[in-house]
Amino acid sequence: MPSKPAPLKKSPAKKAVEKAPEPEAAAVEAPPAEDAPAEAAPVEAPAEAAPAAEGEATPAAPAEDTAAAEGSSPAAAPAAEDGATTPAADAPVDAAPAEAAVVEEPPKAPMPPPPAAPTSAPLDVSVEDVNESSLTIKWKTPETIGDSGLTGYTIEYCKDGTTDWVVANEELTTANHYCIKNLTADDLLLVRVVAVNPGGRSEPGTLAEPVPIREIADRPKIRLPRNLRSCYVKQVGEQVNLVIPFLGKPKPVVSWLKDGQPLDTKTVNIRNSDKDSIMFIRSAQREDSGVYEMALKVESFEDKATVTLQIVERPGPPSSLKLVDTWGFNAALEWTPPKDNGNTDITGYTVQKADRKTGDWFTVLEHCHRLTATISDLIMGNSYIFRVFAENRVGKSEQSALTKEVATIQKTGINYKPPEYQDPDYNEAPKFTTPLIDRAATVGYTTKLLCSVRGCPKPKIEWLKNQMVIGNDPKFRQLSNQGICSLEIRKPCTFDGGVYTCRAKNVQGEAIVSCKLEVKQVILPETDKEKGK
């Protein structure tokens, strides 16, 4: 068996620390020590210990020994570290009272955050679906949620005419739609949605009107024709007859608005049936242009469609037309767009001119997209006036803008001096473009030598054999056509072989080209000779 460790001996300093009073008892009178009077002062705090008796001091314990001492109080460690003297058990009766300790003020608690505020009311509460036993509603998130966030929504309903609100969902829902089930058929219910966050409940978002709990045979649906899905354009004075079919059962309630306001029944006629709605305008005017909204409603369900109607007419004339400048045979014009565009965009302008002598108008520019134009090719000595028409998708304006100034093309003397050109020099010395080629001929078979030459003026062609001019020898035939030179040798013999030269000469110079002709004799075998005999 291992032996038990020997108990450690406590130093006098540790004993003194153990006898020190606990911090909790600082405000309570300490019990009297041995041989000490009952009026001894209590120890206020461990920071400053009472002074020892005269001539006797207790040795201070090191911080390491104080922290390791068994059973020592937490307040004893600072006293040992500061080296303060602690009165011993056998201290004399006339011990001095301890000095009061300096107490620090506790730190102030932080200010609590402001309480959370509830959100705003849910938006656009409407019916998504309804049948004989359930009702599905939808809504939009509130505009103001706050820093605390959104916990969920509570859906409540009650019968119309009562105030007994029933909570439909036991737990909060975070979705923006909810189906209320197990309802009684033919009940008329009011529904509201409340947003909940740590700040509490918001103001409720309520359905606009009570909802009957029953099956809808056919929901309202507007079948807008394709030609009405874009802007529908008509001219002033034309009839407008729009037929818009729809679906819905029982019979839907049809309503029309123009630019958000009720229709003027004096100009616009609406006729509704079980299957369609007809909007009729006998003679359309520009005031009839706008956005028409058709609403189709079957109990709590609704469908909407919009038709944009644009009534157009011819535009007015340009606001102003000025003759900016005249120079040479040209005149520059400038104008501004018309004040009345006919309720549609301007597509261009037509510019016309008229001679003051004749007064006849001629179109010089059509579909001009700019607000300026330059008229050219005017006649010298004549005076001109100009006018401009505006154009849109309907046509040209009935009136035009006319220039107040007259463009006069002045007569000015013109000294025309034709340009001088040098005649081209086509003279060229003869030059052979195709040379003669050495050839071999057979005795008795006609052969021909060919070459080509160019030059200006046309060169004179001569043929030579072995540096001797051939001349008019009937054995040879000389031809020259379009620069092609040929020498035909009729039935040559062995003596006709040699060097043939073609020479071309004109005033610019001469050129020669040569070739070698070899005439061969056909040698027959001995057997052929005997047969020939």
Q: What is the pLDDT of residues 108-131, one digit of tens each?
A: 667 666 677 888 899 999 988 888
pLDDT in tens, 183-238: 888 888 999 999 998 888 889 999 888 888 887 667 889 999 999 999 999 999 99
Q: Which tokens in the block code for residue 188?
A: 């008329």
Among 78-82, 200-204, 326-330, 400-404, the range scoring the smallest mean pLDDT is 78-82
Residues 168 and 231 in one domain: no
Domain of 485, CATH number, reads: 2.60.40.10
How far apart CA 246 and CA 224 sit, in angstroms, is 8
How far apart CA 144 and CA 140 sit, in angstroms, is 12
Whether residue 248 contacts residue 296, with contact meaning beta carbons closer than 8 Å, is answered with yes
Look up residue 285 and give its amino acid. Q
| Number of alpha carbons in the 13 Å side-chain half-sphere of residue 518 | 6
Residues 443 and 464 in one domain: yes
Smallest CA-to-CA distance from 56 within 36, 17, 20, 86 is with: 86
Q: What is residue 370's predicted lDDT score, i.e. its pLDDT? A: 93
Residues 386 and 334 in one domain: yes
Residues 92 and 142 in one domain: no
Name the more confident of 313 and 8: 313
pLDDT-based confidence at 150, cuts 50/70/90?
A: confident
State which H helix or E strand residue 430 sits in. strand 428-434
Residues 88 and 133 in one domain: no
Q: Do the domain assignments include residue 241?
A: yes
pLDDT-based confidence at 423, cuts 50/70/90?
A: confident
Q: What is residue 527's predicted lDDT score, i.e. its pLDDT? A: 66
Average pLDDT value for the chain: 80
pLDDT in tens, 470-497: 988 889 999 999 999 999 999 999 899 9
Overall number of domains in the chain: 5
Q: What is residue 397's predicted lDDT score, i.e. its pLDDT? A: 94
- Mean pLDDT for the stretch of residues 396-402: 93
pLDDT in tens, 365-375: 999 999 999 99
pLDDT in tens, 247-260: 988 888 999 999 99
Look up residue 475 and give its amino acid. K
Residues 246 and 296 in one domain: yes
- Tokens 């802007």 belong to 231
Distances (CA, A) of 286 to 237, 260, 344, 459: 9, 18, 11, 89
Strands 346-355 vs 361-368: parallel, antiparallel or unpaired: antiparallel
pLDDT in tens, 162-191: 888 999 998 899 999 999 988 888 888 999
Residues 241 and 176 in one domain: no
Q: Do the domain assignments include residue 420?
A: no
Q: Do the domain assignments include residue 414?
A: no
pLDDT-based confidence at 531, cuts 50/70/90?
A: low
Q: Do the domain assignments include residue 95?
A: yes
Last residue of a domain, one of 408, 441, 466: 408
Residues 235 and 208 in one domain: no
Residues 199 and 247 in one domain: no
How far apart CA 207 and CA 210 sit, in angstroms, is 7
Last residue of a domain, one of 312, 329, 349: 312
Last residue of a domain, one of 212, 246, 278: 212
Q: What is residue 102's predicted lDDT score, i.e. its pLDDT? A: 58
- Domain encompassing residue 469: 428-520
Residues 208 and 225 in one domain: no
Interior angle at CA 460, CA 455 and CA 463, nearest 5: 115
Q: What is residue 118's predicted lDDT score, i.e. its pLDDT? A: 85
Does residue 12 register a pLDDT over 60?
no
pLDDT in tens, 59-106: 343 334 433 334 334 333 333 344 434 433 343 444 444 445 556 666
Q: Do the domain assignments include residue 344?
A: yes
Q: Do the domain assignments include residue 227?
A: yes
Q: Do the domain assignments include residue 116?
A: no
Q: Do the domain assignments include residue 118?
A: no
Residues 97 and 170 in one domain: no
